[in-house]
């Protein structure tokens, strides 16, 4: 399944990241965002994304898709075959926006929500026409570089919609992972939230500063996680006996006071001031845009390094990086279709591709 025309509802940090990934894949995107500054902000993110893609593709980028700003949600989604919602994380707002998307989008269009943790079942109740086409497509910032997207279906989501969503995300260079059971925060944010909670305690209790905590992470297990994740790293840490030995050795620690887990530090002004002040000091005067550039360069460098591993086949995100850069290079080398040729092609009846059929099929059975 490839997308001809996409719509982005919400063009903030995440929405703009989606726009950048789609547009850099040659896809036209229509954006709706009521913020009068939206076009400028999306432009800034596009600039950063273009810069990062130029590093990934020294041979040149594909022709960009067209960006348009719609005045209403109805206008943005009218002829879209894929819609990604990225409005602020409030259930009432998600309901309002998804209801409107549902009312005006073509029945066959897939609707993805960027929500970080709201269950799709709780969102799709607002979609009165076609709730079966809603999936959570939870990305990671920056969306134009990090390939993972967690795909989650709700009680009313058709299995076929999940399949089509997977194809769509994969077609723009992402790695969709379908979450087997619908839970709040899915897998990524459940893990991140646990780490974040502990980090807040450690700083609040004066055990370390935010900078020290980040150093402890980025000079050690952060590097391991980027290439093997958690379980495979621990398997290796068990020595020749592997995972069983690792678990025998560290299993008992689960009962030791190694974690505050469910205890949450009181979220008050004092905590916010403490963290924000230390974070300002850690930035050493670098602006957010400057930090974004550094982050993007590092991410491209990490993915490129991983792409050369495993006898050149790439390892983890590096293997996908190889495929993605090849796909973009192929797209970049495509000759633009002349208007006459495009007209002639449009005049011929086009065979329905597999995805069209599967979209049709999505009138079938509901997810159990
Ligand atoms: N920031 C992250 O790291 C991150 C990561 C993954 C997922 N998410 C999820 O993505 C979604 C968006 O988060 P964000 O960080 O981009 O927030 P953001 O505040 O940067 O952007 C939200 C945008 O939505 C716009 N908006 C508000 N009301 C709207 C409406 N009625 N219609 C259309 N647009 C509207 C705002 O003007 C703003 O530009 C949230 O659900 C969030 O949980 C965020």
Q: How confident is residue 256, by pLDDT bands cut at 50, 70 and 90? A: confident
Contact call for residues 62 and 331 (beta carbons, < 8 A)? yes
Contact call for residues 41 and 13 (beta carbons, < 8 A)? no
Q: How many CB atoms lie within 10 A of CB 248?
A: 11
Position 350 pLDDT exceeds 80 = no
Record the tokens describing residue 9, joined without a space: 């509802």
Query: 224 CA distance to ligand 1 centroid (A)?
Result: 30
Look at strands 67-69 and 28-32 and give their pairing. Answer: parallel
Q: How many CB atoms lie within 10 A of CB 90?
A: 11
Q: How far apart are CA 347 and CA 225, in angstroms?
A: 52
Ligand 1 neighbours, Cβ below 6 Å, are 9-15, 32-35, 38, 86-89, 97, 114-116, 138-139, 141
- The CATH number for 188-285, chosen from 3.50.50.60, 1.20.950.20, 1.10.10.10, 1.10.1040.10, is 1.10.1040.10
- Counting from 1 in the atom list of ligand 1, the atom nearest the Cα of 9 is 33
Q: Closest by alpha carbon to 169, among 100, 98, 110? A: 110
Q: How far apart are CA 280 and CA 152, in angstroms?
A: 36
Q: Closest by alpha carbon to 134, among 118, 154, 108? A: 154
Look at strands 134-138 and 175-178 and give their pairing. Answer: unpaired
Measured CA to CA in angstroms, residue 144 lies from 48, 244, 252 at distances of: 10, 38, 41
Which residues are bridge partners to 30 per DSSP? 7, 68
Share of the chain above pLDDT 70, in %: 90
Contact call for residues 124 and 157 (beta carbons, < 8 A)? yes
Residue nearest to atom 28 of ligand 1 (CA): 87
pLDDT for the residue 339: 52
Contact call for residues 116 and 38 (beta carbons, < 8 A)? no
Instruction: Specify burial of residue 295 (Cβ count, 10 A radius: 0-12, 13-18, 19+).
Output: middle
Query: 236 CA distance to ligand 1 centroid (A)?
Result: 39
Q: Helix count (H) and strand count (E) of the chain?
A: 16, 8
Position 358 pLDDT exceeds 70 = no
Question: Which H or E run includes 202?
Answer: helix 188-204
How do residues 119-149 score in pLDDT, each as one tens digit?
999 999 999 999 999 999 999 999 999 999 9
Rg (CA), the chain: 22
Query: 240 CA distance to ligand 1 centroid (A)?
Result: 46
Position 363 pLDDT exceeds 90 = no
* Ranges of each domain in the chain: 5-178, 188-285
Q: How confident is residue 336, by pLDDT bands cut at 50, 70 and 90? A: low
How do residues 144-177 score in pLDDT, each as one tens digit?
999 999 999 999 999 999 999 999 999 999 999 9
φ and ψ at 47, to 5 degrees?
Answer: -60, -45
Which residues are bridge partners to 8 per DSSP? 31, 84
Query: 88 CA distance to ligand 1 centroid (A)?
Result: 4
Query: 159 CA distance to ligand 1 centroid (A)?
Result: 27
Residue nearest to atom 34 of ligand 1 (CA): 10
Give, for ligand 1, the residue of 8, 37, 86 to mutate: max count of ligand atoms closer than 8 Å to Cβ.
86
How many residues in total does the chain contain? Answer: 368
CATH no. for 5-178: 3.40.50.720
Give, for ligand 1, the residue of 10, 18, 97 to mutate: max count of ligand atoms closer than 8 Å to Cβ.
10
pLDDT for the residue 63: 97
Q: What is the mean pLDDT of residues 237-250?
A: 89
Query: 9 CA distance to ligand 1 centroid (A)?
Result: 9
Instruction: Specify burial of residue 24 (Cβ count, 10 A radius: 0-12, 13-18, 19+).
Output: buried
DSSP label of 221? I
Residue nearest to atom 39 of ligand 1 (CA): 12
- Counting from 1 in the atom list of ligand 1, the atom nearest the Cα of 85 is 11
pLDDT for the residue 255: 84
Contact call for residues 11 and 38 (beta carbons, < 8 A)? yes
Query: 34 CA distance to ligand 1 centroid (A)?
Result: 12
pLDDT for the residue 338: 54
How do residues 188-227 score in pLDDT, each as one tens digit?
999 999 999 999 999 999 999 999 999 999 999 999 999 9
Q: What is the mean pLDDT of residues 305-330?
A: 98
Query: 85 CA distance to ligand 1 centroid (A)?
Result: 8
How do residues 15-64 score in pLDDT, each as one tens digit?
999 999 999 999 999 999 999 999 999 999 999 999 999 999 999 999 99
Residue nearest to atom 7 of ligand 1 (CA): 116
Any residues with CB less than 8 A from the CB of 79 and at least 6 apart, and which? 5, 106
Contact call for residues 17 and 142 (beta carbons, < 8 A)? yes
Q: How far apart are CA 80 and CA 87, in angstroms?
A: 18
Q: Closest by alpha carbon to 100, among 122, 72, 64, 70? A: 72
pLDDT for the residue 75: 98
- Counting from 1 in the atom list of ligand 1, the atom nearest the Cα of 117 is 43
How do residues 89-109 score in pLDDT, each as one tens digit?
999 999 999 999 999 999 999
pLDDT for the residue 352: 36
């Amino acid at each position: 399944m490839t997308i001809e025309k996409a719509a982005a509802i919400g063009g903030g940090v995440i929405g703009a990241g989606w726009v950048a990934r789609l547009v850099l894949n040659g896809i036209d995107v229509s954006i709706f965002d009521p913020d009068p500054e939206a076009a400028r902000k999306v432009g800034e993110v596009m600039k950063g994304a273009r810069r990062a893609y130029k590093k990934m593709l020294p041979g040149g980028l594909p022709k960009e898709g067209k960006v348009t700003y719609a005045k209403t949600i109805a206008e943005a989604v009218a002829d879209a075959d894929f819609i990604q919602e990225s409005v602020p994380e409030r259930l009432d707002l998600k309901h309002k926006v998804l209801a409107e998307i549902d009312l005006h989008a073509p029945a066959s269009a897939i609707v993805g929500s960027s929500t970080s943790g709201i269950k799709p079942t709780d969102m799709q109740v607002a979609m009165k026409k076609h709730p079966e086409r809603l999936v959570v497509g939870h990305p990671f910032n920056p969306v134009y570089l990090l390939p993972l997207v967690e795909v989650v279906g709700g009680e009313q989501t058709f299995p076929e919609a999940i399949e089509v969503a997977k194809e769509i995300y994969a077609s723009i260079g992402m790695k969709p992972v379908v979450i087997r059971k619908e839970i709040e925060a899915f897998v990524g944010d459940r893990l991140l939230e646990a780490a974040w909670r502990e980090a807040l305690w450690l700083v609040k209790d004066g055990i370390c500063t935010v900078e020290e905590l980040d150093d402890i992470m980025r000079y050690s297990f952060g590097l391991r996680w980027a290439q093997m994740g958690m379980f495979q790293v621990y398997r290796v840490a068990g020595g020749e006996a592997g995972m069983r030995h690792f678990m025998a050795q560290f299993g008992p620690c689960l009962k030791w006071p190694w974690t505050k887990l469910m205890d949450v530090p009181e979220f008050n002004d004092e905590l916010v001031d403490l963290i924000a002040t230390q974070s300002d000091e850690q930035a050493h005067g670098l602006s957010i845009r400057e930090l974004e550039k550094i982050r993007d360069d590092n991410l491209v460098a990490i993915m490129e390094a991983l792409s050369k591993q495993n006898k050149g086949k790439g390892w983890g995100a590096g293997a996908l990086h190889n495929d993605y850069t090849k796909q973009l290079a192929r797209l970049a080398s495509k000759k633009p279709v002349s208007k006459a040729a495009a007209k002639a092609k449009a005049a011929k009846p086009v065979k329905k591709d597999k995805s069209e059929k599967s979209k049709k099929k999505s009138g079938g059975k509901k997810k159990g």
